Amino acid sequence: MLLPDNSLGGRTVQCLKRLQGRGVQVIICTGRAVESSCRYYSAIGAQGPMVFFNGAEVVDVPAGRVISANLLGFDVIDYGIDLARSMGIHYQIFLPPSGETRWETLLFERDSEEGQMYRSHTGIRPVVGDLKAEIAKAAEEPGSQGCPKAMFIADPGLHDEIRRNMIGRFGERVYIARTFPTFLEIMAAGVSKGEGLKTVMACRGLKPEEVIAFGDEENDLPMFVAAGFSAAPSSAKENVRQAADFVFGSNAEEGLAIFLEELFG
C-alpha cells in the first residue's frame, strides 16, 4: 500500500521488515514492471517469487529469473497501435528482455504528456519510436511469443470505447483492467493477479488459508479470491471495499502498517 505520492511510508517499511524477521513472507503482486517495482521490494528486503504485470509474469527477484509468463499476442498489440492512432491517444507496450537487456523495454510511439506522466510515475526510461516497426522486429526474434502487456493512457471517459473495440475484435483472448484512473491495461486472457498469486503460492508452499491479500483497485479482486483472507484500505474503490473481508485505514495514514501491527502484535 503506497502513499499518495507512490512511495512506501516509513512505518510501513519498518513494519514489513519486522514481520519478515519473524518469518512472515511478503509477496508483491503488482501491475507494475519488474524494473519499476525494484525500489519497493528492495526497500523492505523482500525476495523470492513475486507477481508483476498484473500476473502476466511471475519473477524471482532480485535474480530476475522468469518463472512463468502469459504473453499478449503481437496481432493484439498491433491492433492496439491502430486504435490508439485513430483515437489520437497514448499507447505503449513492454517488450520482454532480450540479449543483454535485463528488464523489459518500454516503448512509446511519441513522448506525449501522458507518456511523461507515466515515466515520472514509474521511473522507467522509454524508447520512443515507430511501434509498428518495433513490433515487427520483435516478432522476428527467435522464440518470441509476445509481450507482457500493452497500455492505453487516456481520459477515463474513453475507456469504454477502447474496451468495446478490443473485446469486439479479440473477444476472450484479452484481459483488460484499469489500474490507475487513466491507465487501461491490455493483457492475455488468463492473466490476473489471482493466477499470478496462485503460482507464487505453489512456489513458496503456501496454502490459501496462510495468505492475506491487500488491494485497492479492480485488478486486485482476483487476488482476493485466491487468498484465504482479503483486506482493503478505506481509500479503495467501493467495489473493492465491498469485496474485501476487512477494511482498514487509508493509504495516506499508512493504514496497512497499523492493521498489521494490530494483527501480529
107 DSSP β-pair partners: 93, 127
The dihedrals phi and psi of 220, each to the nearest 5 degrees, come to: -85, -15
Quick: pLDDT tens for 144-188.
889 999 999 999 999 999 999 999 999 999 999 888 889 999 999
Structural domain containing residue 202: 10-69+192-264
Mark whether 48 and 130 lie in a shared domain. Answer: no
Quick: pLDDT tens for 210-231.
999 999 988 899 999 999 999 9
Mark whether 145 and 228 lie in a shared domain. Answer: no
Mark whether 100 and 127 lie in a shared domain. Answer: yes
Question: Helical H runs in 171-265?
Answer: 193-204, 221-226, 238-243, 255-264
Q: Residue 105 domain-assigned?
A: yes
Question: How many structural domains is the chain composed of?
Answer: 2
Query: 27-36, 116-125, 153-162 — which one is most confidently predicted on average?
Result: 153-162
